[in-house]
Amino acid sequence: MTAVALAGVMTGPGPAAGHGPAAGARTEVPGFPRRGRCLVMGVVNVTPDSFSDGGAYLAAASAIGHGLAMARDGADIIDVGGESTRPGAGRVQEAEELRRILPVVRDLAAAGATVTVDTTRAAVAEAALAAGAAGINDVSGGLADPAMAPLAAAARVPYIAMHSRGPSAGMQRRAAYDDVVTEVAAELRARLEALLQAGIDRRRVVLDPGLGFAKLPAHNWQLLRRLGELTALGQPVLIGASRKAFLGAVLRRADETPPPQARDAATAAVSALAAAAGAWCVRVHDVPTTLDAVRVAAEWTAPPGEDSAHS
Ligand code: PMM
């Protein structure tokens, strides 16, 4: 597909925003596409060890091919990461992270895709922005690198701040809450305040509860059930449930847990429910199933007597 053709796929005009009772939470983010429905972010992990697709896209050419295929499938944003965040994962060197992601970011952006870089390092984010990335996805919410928030402020790009409680190594030991939803909301609010203090424009901050990051399965389900308490923070909310272990646990039958690649229908169900509850974007490995799901959710939540632009 040519850059122009792909640009049309990625940024063509969507239906008017503002559908449905939950639509107020789905505010627009300057620098990201507008679709009038929950957005779909496709994941490209250029890593040997991510839990779902580790090793599959370690070579730049296969990662680029995968990202382009997701864009053709209708992904609104492509998220490129070079460091696994699976529980217990160690850090990769900055030079290796850059080596993995930069050619992928450069080629996907050149083809017209809206790309985010999934990194906790400001230097990596800065290089990715220079290579054409449109935004930053930081699973530490700015806590890992003090230079990250000032960079996002100066670059005037969208910044996704995910909730976690420290590095992946050992994070599940910090999964202790009296009321996970109240505590995650309070910790995200504190992050938001710090990011605004650093000069990031409020319209560009996306919040994410960080499912599976210092959270047990029961914590993830409570955060999803009470998503309204997170959208009530007034920022767009991103949900990353795709293929995660808490979905595998629900699907477990006769002592057999389906592997991550067999959890896409369950992921699509979460995507539909999250979209209907006001999520701004869902981050997934399989784009077509979730795109169908968020389109259904957009129809379901269209205001009474008003058909969506797709009907
Ligand atoms: N999950 C993973 C990685 N990055 N970023 C955000 N914003 N939210 C998430 O839930 C999230 C993330 C881990 O999943 P992966 O290894 O399949 O990418």
Query: Angle, nearest 10°, between helix axes 217-225 and 264-276?
Result: 40
Confidence of residue 6 (pLDDT cuts 50, 70, 90): low
Which atom of ligand 1 is nearest the CA belonging to 240? 10
The protein residue with its alpha carbon nearest to ligand 1, atom 17, reads: 52
pLDDT, position 255:
86
Lowest mean pLDDT among 56-60, 120-124, 222-226: 56-60
Would you put residue 55 in left (φ > 0), alpha (ψ -120 to 50) or beta? left
pLDDT exceeding 90 applies to what percent of the chain? Answer: 77
Integer CA distances (angstroms), 196 to 26, 166, 252, 304, in order? 20, 21, 42, 37
Does the active-site annotation cover 215? Answer: no
**Residues 240-269, mean pLDDT to the nearest whole number:** 95
Local confidence band at 18 (pLDDT 50, 70, 90 cut-offs): very low
Least confident of 16-20, 44-48, 174-178: 16-20
Rounded to whole angstroms, the Cα distance separating 11 from 69 reads 16
Distance 240 CA to ligand 1 centre (A): 6
Residue 280 has pLDDT above 80, yes or no: yes
pLDDT of 7 higher than 80: no
Residue-wise pLDDT tens digits, 72-115: 999 999 999 999 887 777 789 999 999 999 999 999 999 999 99
Q: What angle do CA 122, 125, 127 make, to 5 degrees?
A: 110
191 in ligand 1 pocket by Cβ < 6 Å?
A: no
* Average predicted confidence (pLDDT) for the chain: 90
Q: What is the pLDDT of residue 25?
A: 56
pLDDT range class, residue 21, cuts 50, 70, 90: very low
Architecture of domain 35-300: Alpha-Beta Barrel (3.20)
Please give the C-alpha separations between residue 267 and each of 43, 73, 107, 242, in angstroms, as whole numbers.
13, 17, 28, 5
List strand residue ranges (DSSP E) for 56-215, in order.
77-81, 115-118, 135-138, 159-162, 205-208
Residue 244 is a catalytic residue = yes
Tell me how crowded residue 171 is: count the other CB atoms within 10 A of its CB. Answer: 20
Residue 141 has pLDDT above 90, yes or no: yes
Indicate if ligand 1 lies below 6 Å from the C-beta of 240.
Answer: yes
pLDDT at 14: 37
Sequence spans of domains, the chain: 35-300
Average pLDDT rounded to a whole number, residues 17-41? 75
